[in-house]
Amino acid sequence: MRYVCGAVQLLALICAVGSGFGQTAPAAIAGAVPAAVPVYDLLLMGGHVIDARNGISAVRDVAIKDGLIAAVAAHLDPAAALKVIDVTGLYVTPGLIDIHAHVYAGTGERGSYAGDLSLYPDGYTFRVGVTTLADAGCSGWRNFEDFKDRVIDRSRTRVLAFLNIVGNGMRGGKFESDITDMEAAPAAEMALRHKDLIVGFKTAHYTGPDWTPVEHAVEAGKVAKIPVMVDFGSDRPERPIAELLMSKLRPGDIYTHCYSGLRHELDEAGNLNPGMIEGRKRGVIFDVGHGNGSFAWRVAVPALKLGFLPDSISTDLHVGSMNTSMKDMLNVMDKFFAMGMSLDDVIRRSTWNPAREIQREELGHLSVGAPADVAVLSHLTGKFGLTDMYGARLQTHRKLVCELTVRNGKVVYDLNGISRPDWDKLPKNYLQTGDPRWDGIMPQRRTAPAPPRGGN
């Protein structure tokens, strides 16, 4: 009896998969002539594509096959796709890239970014359209491979890393200001061993008066040919930011927390530090790194009015920022839209610009052949508020919401079920509602779940 039941379910499943619930090429229906392989696994139809690298901001269909972008055009044939999702009225962008986050969770170390202050990435990325993030220095060469094992290798999010110049990484003040543990050679060696994952070096939270962390990070950066990201730590007159930006950093190195105002980025009269302007001319990159203590309206608003836009928008995601003023990537992007940047500019700085900064130019765009990491966003109109590090609010009338996230060609987040069939149009005993070729959400159920055993 069980066997018969299973066979019936299997039949229903074949039909369900084959029919794609009314959205599949007729030739693919099971039981007819040999099923043709659909040209595309997934087609996002009718959305407004914003792809800075390819200069596209227009309504386009986006087709995906085998985890890669297969076609982008004004009209693609829906019959050629196994699955079609109507995204009319929504924005379709490359998967967002957040180059400043803290995700070395799970070590059990209290009060440490190589521990309890970090978050496991997957709970905070796909729901806001982020498909790639870079950990900003939680690990150093001594513990990077532990970080890789605990987090990178287990995450569905693409996790890359800036390696801390401190061998012990971001384990707290006594480690982070220990100049004896800031060795360029082993850091560079580790970066070269994991070229696919380590995209830069980081120095952060340094309290001393000297340039050792910056100099050693740059030295490592030269050997591994990757950029250095600087959180400039305590404000010390012995090492002013003008000197950092005008002579210590190389073109392509990244100054994060650029709107904190904590290191004289803007003077009392509202003028930009000349080092910011000269640094930008030299090719130094300016990154937001919002966090819980690095973004103030009273700095950002005048800076943007002076034309000083960020090169990249990033969160500085950690347990202390996600429930305070930062919240998530889209909230930070909303802030720049609210200050007058166009949505195209905001998306560019959250996709293609950060991809270039970390030298991963295969990411951050929707070119044919690129990894199919995609965000589908709605831009709500209403009454909203956005807060800064001091709890000051800026009122706004637009808000980005992530409707759907695609990672490696598979739907991994779908807020309103726009990729899903209506339950009352399915076979009575439905089990399977997707297809593993596009569906990264649902376990591919072939039997009914076991009944609960009581207790819970």
Looking at the Cβ atoms of 158 and 205, the one nearer to Zn ion is: 205
Written as one letter, the residue type at 411 is V
CB of 294 to Zn ion, least distance (A): 8
Written as one letter, the residue type at 219 is E
CB of 115 to Zn ion, least distance (A): 14
CB of 137 to Zn ion, least distance (A): 7
CA dihedral 328, 410, 420, 348 (to 10 degrees): 40
Looking at the Cβ atoms of 312 and 405, the one nearer to Zn ion is: 312
Looking at the Cβ atoms of 16 and 128, the one nearer to Zn ion is: 128
Is residue 18 classed as helix, strand or coil in its secondary structure? helix
Residues 141 and 119: beta-carbon distance below 8 Å:
no
Closest Cα partner for 445 from 4, 16, 108, 3? 16
- What number of chain residues touch Zn ion (CB under 5 A)? 2
Residue with the shortest CB distance to Zn ion: 316
Q: Is 117 in the site for Zn ion (CB under 5 A)?
A: no
CB of 169 to Zn ion, least distance (A): 12
Looking at the Cβ atoms of 136 and 377, the one nearer to Zn ion is: 136
Give burial (CB, 10 Å; 0-12/13-18/19+) of 173.
Answer: exposed
CB of 149 to Zn ion, least distance (A): 22
Is residue 6 classed as helix, strand or coil in its secondary structure? helix
Residues 215 and 179: beta-carbon distance below 8 Å:
no
CB of 49 to Zn ion, least distance (A): 31
Looking at the Cβ atoms of 69 and 230, the one nearer to Zn ion is: 230
Helix or strand run (H / E) with residue 286 = strand 285-286
Looking at the Cβ atoms of 103 and 266, the one nearer to Zn ion is: 103
Select the span of 79-87, 136-144, 371-379, 390-398 touching Zn ion (CB under 5 A).
136-144
Backbone angles phi, psi at 157, to 5 degrees: -65, 140
Residues 6+ positions from 4 with CB-CB distance below 8 Å: none
Looking at the Cβ atoms of 136 and 404, the one nearer to Zn ion is: 136
The per-residue DSSP string of 55-84 comes to TEEEEEEEEEETTEEEEEES---GGGEEEE
Residues 135 and 103: beta-carbon distance below 8 Å:
yes
Residues 357 and 254: beta-carbon distance below 8 Å:
yes
Give the contact letters, 279-318, x = binds to Zn ion (CB under 5 A), - = no: -------------------------------------x--
Q: How far apart are CA 26 and CA 394, in angstroms?
A: 52
Residue 362 burial (CB count, 10 A): 10
Looking at the Cβ atoms of 51 and 316, the one nearer to Zn ion is: 316
Select the span of 15-23, 129-137, 154-162, 341-349 touching Zn ion (CB under 5 A).
129-137
Q: 225-254: which residues touch Zn ion (CB under 5 A)? A: none
CB of 332 to Zn ion, least distance (A): 13
Written as one letter, the residue type at 79 is A
CB of 176 to Zn ion, least distance (A): 12
CB of 114 to Zn ion, least distance (A): 12
Written as one letter, the residue type at 27 is A
CB of 105 to Zn ion, least distance (A): 14
**Of 117, 136, 184, 343, the one binding Zn ion by CB under 5 A:** 136
Beta partners for residue 61, in sequence order: 73
CB of 194 to Zn ion, least distance (A): 20
Closest Cα partner for 374 from 103, 27, 45, 131? 131
Looking at the Cβ atoms of 83 and 205, the one nearer to Zn ion is: 205
Give burial (CB, 10 Å; 0-12/13-18/19+) of 262.
Answer: middle
Looking at the Cβ atoms of 136 and 241, the one nearer to Zn ion is: 136
Q: 27-86: which residues touch Zn ion (CB under 5 A)? A: none
Largest CA distance in the chain: 82
Looking at the Cβ atoms of 40 and 255, the one nearer to Zn ion is: 255
**Where on the chain is the footprint of Zn ion (CB under 5 A)?**
136, 316
